[in-house]
A = this chain, B = another copy of it.
Amino acid sequence: MVTGSAMSWTDDEGGEAGAARSGDSSRRLIEAAIEAFADRGYHATTTRDIATRVGLSPAALYVHFPSKQALLGEISVVGHEAALELVERSAAGPGGPLARLEAVIRAFTAWHAERHRVARVVHHELTALADADRHRVLDIRRKIEGVVRAQLSAGTASGEMDVPDPRAVARALLSLSVDVARWYDPRGSRTAEEIGELYADLAARMVVARPSREPGDPV
């Protein structure tokens, strides 16, 4: 794992700090690798493809990253760390478990729309990661799922929610957000924020306790 460029590529605001730490070439190589992996997949991409996109030789790439797999590891670990940070921050906001769950899903969904290219690489190339990176990433994924499950537990305990299978529902909620990265098109009619807002509402509907209703009752 190469950690040089830190979070710069997932955060436009942090670009200068990232570049200062690790050099502009590392950052450009990471951005080029994201584009290449998202376009054609990890296995079909060569280090030459990546280097050529930024006008470097393959040899110059190896100055910054020891291998194509190290580049994927950097992208995947940093992407997961950014998502976890976002989720933890959202879960620490105001309100009860339902409001916090909505905040998590709102932010996590909008992130998957805005960063759909990074997110595709992060979610679709898990099996291509080196073992150490995959273990790190799986650990972060468990933490993200843990944050969601904590809201479901708290909401169930308070009576605000009714969640029959918290583990499966937590996975479904995250899965719904993750899949936005597969189909999101920035030229579409809805912004990332609008999709985040809609999905927060759908998440709330999925978990909120409902008055019991028999079939045939008026709705």
A interface, CB within 8 angstroms of B: 39-44, 123-124, 127, 159-160, 164-165, 168-169, 171-172, 175-176, 178-180, 182-183, 190, 195, 198-199, 201-202, 205-211, 219
List B contacts of A199 (CB < 8 A): 172
Distance in Å: Cβ of A207 to nearest Cβ of chain B: 8
List B contacts of A172 (CB < 8 A): 176, 198-199, 202
Alpha-carbon distance between A175 and B182 when the two chains are bound, in angstroms? 9
Assess the B183–A219 pair: CB atoms within 8 A: no
A40-B43, A178-B179, A205-B207 are known contacts; what are 12 more A-B pairs with Cβ within 8 Å?
A: A41-B41, A41-B43, A124-B124, A159-B219, A168-B190, A172-B198, A172-B202, A175-B176, A175-B179, A205-B205, A205-B206, A205-B210
Q: How many copies does the complex hold?
A: 2
List B contacts of A205 (CB < 8 A): 205-208, 210
Distance in Å: Cβ of A26 to nearest Cβ of chain B: 25
Alpha-carbon distance between A176 and B159 when the two chains are bound, in angstroms? 26
List B contacts of A124 (CB < 8 A): 124, 182
Alpha-carbon distance between A207 and B209 when the two chains are bound, in angstroms? 14
List B contacts of A198 (CB < 8 A): 164-165, 168-169, 172
List B contacts of A127 (CB < 8 A): 39
Alpha-carbon distance between A121 and B110 when the two chains are bound, in angstroms? 26
Cβ-neighbour of A206 out of B169, B206, B211 (below 8 A): B206
Alpha-carbon distance between A179 and B199 when the two chains are bound, in angstroms? 15
* 24 sampled A-B residue pairs with Cβ under 8 A: A40-B41, A41-B41, A41-B43, A42-B44, A43-B43, A123-B182, A124-B182, A159-B219, A165-B198, A168-B198, A169-B198, A172-B198, A172-B199, A172-B202, A175-B180, A175-B182, A176-B179, A178-B182, A179-B179, A205-B205, A205-B210, A209-B219, A210-B210, A211-B211
